[in-house]
Amino acid sequence: MARVGICEDDADVRRVLTEGLRLADHDVVVSRNGREAMAAFAAPGSVDVLIVDIGLPDADGRDLCQALRTSGQHAPVLFLTALDGVHDRISGFHAGGDDYVAKPFAIGEILVRVDALLRRTRPAPATPTGLVLDPERFSVRTGGGEARLTPTEYRILAALAAAPGAVVRRRAVVAAGWPDGAMVSENTLDSYIRRVRAKLETAGSPVELVTVRGVGFVLR
């Protein structure tokens, strides 16, 4: 038995999922959109596994996942989506997802995958950075203020904030920030990093975005 968080906007799918998970003796916490999910699941340890629909009305499920990771929520995430192209799947993994099920799914498959995710041991999450990402408005809040970001800046920052203190490689930052397969030059990435750094400073961020020459970037 585990606590399973669901974020799905369609009431019928939500009910079917809830019922199916309850039949398998799981506790289910339900949210209907990105905002509710941030409120319900941001706290570390609030759920054991998360099922997140990618096509939410107010945010992209992948951006929500990154925001949750930044807040310190490191429960495994299973994405549900109506899109099943390879690039959609890859972008889900880059956004910190752990598995992927395409609609229409079999409930049995969801249960098997949830069990598999619960069995997997995860590395101990690092101390959160104190940044709060808002997947709906693409903004970052700190104790001192708030800054608006573009979707790409948001995804870059989220990739770094999900692993505070660790150096995130340039390639991983590109994979998180841009659609799969996009060609991004070094200069473009650097100029984005400069903009994110400036916005963090504007918002009075407690952490600093540091460039590790030739390797990548780190928030500390």
Partner 1 sequence: MTRPWERLFGRSLRARVAWSTAAVTAVVMVAMVGVVGLIISGLARHQIDAALGSRVEATAESLRVDAGGDLALAPSQADDVDDRVWVFDAEGGLVAGPPRAGLSAPVRSLSGAATEKTLVRDGRRYLARPVHVEGTQDTSAVLVASESVEPYERTRDVALISLLALGVVVVAGTAALSAWTVGRTLRPVHRMTALAADWSERDLETRFDLTEGSDEFTELGNTLDSLLDRVATALRDEQRLTAELAHELRTPLTAIRGEAELGRIATPTDERYGRIIGLVDRLSASITTLLALARHRTGSTLRADPAEVMADLTTALPPHGAEVVVDIPRGRYLVAAPPELVERAVGPVLDNALRHASRRVLVAAVESDGTIAVTVSDDGPGVDPDHRETIFDAGTRFPESEDGGDGAGLGLALARRVAVAAGGDVRVTSTAAPTTFEIRFPRW
Beta bridge partners of 31: 7
Q: What number of CA atoms fall less than 13 Å from residue 32's CA on the CB side? A: 4
- For residues 48 and 3, the answer to whether their CB atoms sit within 8 Å is yes
Interface with partner 1 includes 187 (CB under 8 A)?
Answer: no
Only one of the segments 34-42, 79-87, 164-172, 191-199 lies at the binding site for partner 1 (rule: CB under 8 A); that segment is: 79-87
Only one of the segments 27-35, 80-88, 137-145, 164-172 lies at the binding site for partner 1 (rule: CB under 8 A); that segment is: 80-88
Output the CA torsion 66→71→76→79 (10° steps).
Answer: -30
Interface with partner 1 includes 16 (CB under 8 A)?
Answer: yes
The angle, 0 to 180 degrees and rounded to 10, between the axes of the packed helices 151-161 and 170-177 is 140
Query: What is the β-pairing status of strands 146-148 and 132-134?
Result: unpaired
Interface with partner 1 includes 104 (CB under 8 A)?
Answer: yes
Site for partner 1 (CB under 8 A): how many residues? 37
Only one of the segments 6-14, 123-131, 159-167, 206-214 lies at the binding site for partner 1 (rule: CB under 8 A); that segment is: 6-14
Interface with partner 1 includes 106 (CB under 8 A)?
Answer: yes
Q: Alpha helix (H) ranges present in 75-136?
A: 86-94, 107-119
What's the helix, strand, coil split of the chain in %, to 5? 40, 20, 40
Per-residue x/- track, 124-163, partner 1 (CB under 8 A): ----------------------------------------
Binding site for partner 1 (CB under 8 A): 10, 12-13, 15-17, 19-20, 23, 55, 82-87, 89-90, 93, 98-100, 102-109, 112-113, 116, 120, 181-183
